[in-house]
Amino acid sequence: MNNITTKPLIVQGDRTLLLEVNHPGYNEARHAISPFTELVKSPEYIHTYRMSSLSLWNAASLGWKAEKVVSILREYSQYAIPVHIEKEIISTMERFGKLELARQDGELVLRAEDGQVIEQLLSYPSIAQLVTRCIDSHSVVIPQGIRGMIKQTLMKLGYPVRDVAGYTDGEELKLSLYETPNFSLRTYQKEAVDAFYDKGSVSGGNGIIVLPCGAGKTIVGIETMVRFGMATLILTSNTTSVKQWREEIISKTTLTGDQVGIYTGEAKEVGPVTVSTYQMITHRSNADVPFPHLSLFHERNWGLIIYDEVHLLPAPVFRMTADIQAKRRLGLTATLVREDGRAEDVFSLIGPKKYELPWRMLEQQGWIATAECTEIRVPMPEKVQRLYIESGERQKFRIASENPAKTDVVRKVLTDHSDEQVLIIGQYVAQLEAIAQELKVPVITGITPHDEREKLYRMFRSKELKVLVVSRVANFAVDLPDAAVAIQISGTFGSRQEEAQRLGRILRPKKGENIARFYSLVSSDSKEEQYALKRQRFLVEQGYRYHLQIAEKPSRKI
């Protein structure tokens, strides 16, 4: 670190870190602590980070040692670190890998180097009832069918398990990657697959790869399929993504169209590689009947299951995932953030983080566009403001989100970027349809027929359309590489993952200056303004800054 008399960080006794934004060492310190912390609050001057057990375990899964974490905190902290915090970091990170699931003489065995750990765990009835028998003071036998359940249960007790019990090989599938002068694996993509594959050892084959939107996570998934050479089931977020996966697999590998099946509402083809959606897997006619399509997990002898956008994994798939721990599991995501608090289940059932590359690092290397983020505060017209004040707490957020004065701000942004491809993104269908009608541009929502969606996406890609209004259906896995500007007019409360995904829609590399611009329109002095700060946390953690603009008060009656 450079020679600065004061330092930018304060380490508090509750595991939170306060980082001074305007300090000259801010960027350096933020980059140093990001692998083992998560951002909690990001107001203008002081950002608050937290060292959770999960953030420390994810760092440990990537090879970080507690001594390195403590050393970094000492280097950047203005004051001495509380002694108990150093001890907590050491004891927390040491717990990763203290317990190991392995296979021994055909049985599933939970073992620990320290026999006292096993003794302590057996004192919990929730663990004791899952044990078949004790082998010795260091190891116990676990039934094969509860491999996922035991990991979930131990995780809740604060013991993340290193799973080296290996996998059953799926049916063989021969394929290779086409590398051409115009396409080859990028260095970081190869590194990500290497980290997951782990030379084919029992330590490889399960875990999460975290890469920014636009970094080519699909290619990482395809190369993983090539490495293992086994039948593969791919689950993703929507039917548009299903077709994109299929097209990429066919164009980038030696597999033919009849080897790559699509399992959706339109077609139910189960091939050696099959692509489906989370919605399809969890669809059922009513809450009292079983999920009919969960059987897809057993339709073939899969050797690999890929969970695209793994942060969206729904609860029923978690339950099935717990039952298929003998299958290799790859999770792909741009953010490990889950708004439902089930990040520990992702860790225990899919696997720990195996590889992560910071967004800004890829930006500096030119693999994704440089992003400029701007929050525009939009005053509410007097009539709307009166309605806002008189409304209950539940209604306030939506009234602020649908502030009609935002339309004039959208017009101004469109004028400023008249030569660029622009996405207008929002949460509320009525708001989107109204703004699309006023601007005389097309809109895509959840009720737009699939063929119509694809037609509009094609027109946008070919630049027949300069502006497209889209709802939440475009949050994930929609490939619109020429989109350079996004205008967010409303969002889902404080969803950090949504903010990241929406910025991700415009991060594909651009010709020329390679800049993407993200505008978030927020009603001034409202609930929406408070939630906007929460939404921005993940991107601020990645090193992005939001420039603030104040729009003029509406002059016309709305």
Least confident of 4-18, 39-53, 170-184, 422-436: 39-53
Burial 412-422 (b: 16+ CB within 10 A, else e): ebbeebeebbb
520-536 tens-digit pLDDT: 999 999 999 988 888 88
Cα separations (Å) of 155 from 166, 225, 279, 348?
20, 29, 27, 7
**How big is the chain, counted in residues?**
558
Burial 155-190 (b: 16+ CB within 10 A, else e): beeebbbbbbbebeebeebebebeeeeeeebbebbe
pLDDT of residue 283: 87
Pick the closest to residue 535 from 42, 44, 35, 33 (CA basis): 42
Q: Is the pLDDT of residue 438 over 70?
A: yes
Which pTM value belongs to this model?
A: 0.84
pLDDT of residue 351: 92
Beta strand pairing status for 515-523 and 370-378? Answer: parallel
**Highest mean pLDDT pick, 181-195, 340-354, 472-486:** 181-195
pLDDT of residue 195: 94
Residue 4 CB neighbour total at 10 angstroms: 11
Cβ atoms of 332 and 475 within 8 Å: the answer is no
Backbone angles phi and psi of 167, in degrees to 5: -140, 160
Q: How many angstroms separate the first and last alpha carbons of the chain?
A: 54
Is the C-alpha dihedral spanning 347, 348, 350, 354 positive or negative?
Answer: positive
Q: Is the pLDDT of residue 555 over 80?
A: no
- Mean pLDDT taken over the chain: 90
Q: Is the pLDDT of residue 478 over 70?
A: no
State mean pLDDT over 239-246: 90
Q: Is the pLDDT of residue 3 over 70?
A: no
Q: Which domains does the chain have, with CATH numbers?
A: 9-95 (no CATH), 99-163 (3.30.70), 187-357 (3.40.50.300), 364-550 (3.40.50.300)
Q: Is the pLDDT of residue 271 over 60?
A: yes
Half-sphere exposure (CA, 13 Å, Cβ side) for 431? 23
Q: How far apart are CA 103 and CA 294, in angstroms?
A: 27
Return the SS3 of 10: strand
Q: What is the DSSP letter of 112?
A: E
More confident residue, 407 or 555: 407
Which amino acid, residue 183? F
Q: How far apart are CA 540 and CA 373, in angstroms?
A: 10
State mean pLDDT over 340-350: 87
pLDDT of residue 386: 94
Helix axes 83-95, 66-76, angle to 10 degrees: 150
Q: How far apart are CA 124 and CA 271, in angstroms?
A: 44
Tokens, residue 558? 């709305």
User: In 123-189, which ranges are E strands?
Assistant: 133-136, 139-142, 161-163
Is the C-alpha dihedral spanning 249, 251, 252, 253 positive or negative?
Answer: positive
Pick the closest to residue 233 from 320, 161, 103, 162 (CA basis): 320
Q: What is the DSSP letter of 346?
A: I
Cβ neighbors of 451 (< 8 A, separation 6 or more) are none
State mean pLDDT over 4-18: 90
Q: Is the pLDDT of residue 42 over 80?
A: no
User: In 46-90, which ranges are E strands?
Assistant: 46-50
* Per-residue pLDDT band at 5 (split at 50, 70, 90): low
State mean pLDDT over 323-333: 93
Strands laid side by side in the 273-277 sheet: 260-263, 273-277, 232-236, 304-307, 328-333, 206-210, 353-356
CA angle (393, 398, 399) in 5-degree steps: 85
* Per-residue pLDDT band at 323 (split at 50, 70, 90): confident
Q: Is the pLDDT of residue 477 over 70?
A: no
Q: How far apart are CA 438 and CA 175, in angstroms?
A: 50
Q: How far apart are CA 523 and CA 543, in angstroms?
A: 25
Q: How far apart are CA 498 and CA 506, in angstroms?
A: 14
More confident residue, 253 or 500: 253
The DSSP H or E segment spanning 324 is none
Contacts 24+ apart (CB under 8 A), 247-252: 248/218, 248/219, 248/222, 249/222, 249/225, 249/273, 249/275, 251/178, 252/177, 252/178, 252/183, 252/219, 252/222
Cβ atoms of 459 and 465 within 8 Å: the answer is yes
CA angle (35, 40, 43) in 5-degree steps: 115
pLDDT of residue 476: 62
- 235 strand-pairing partners: 276, 307
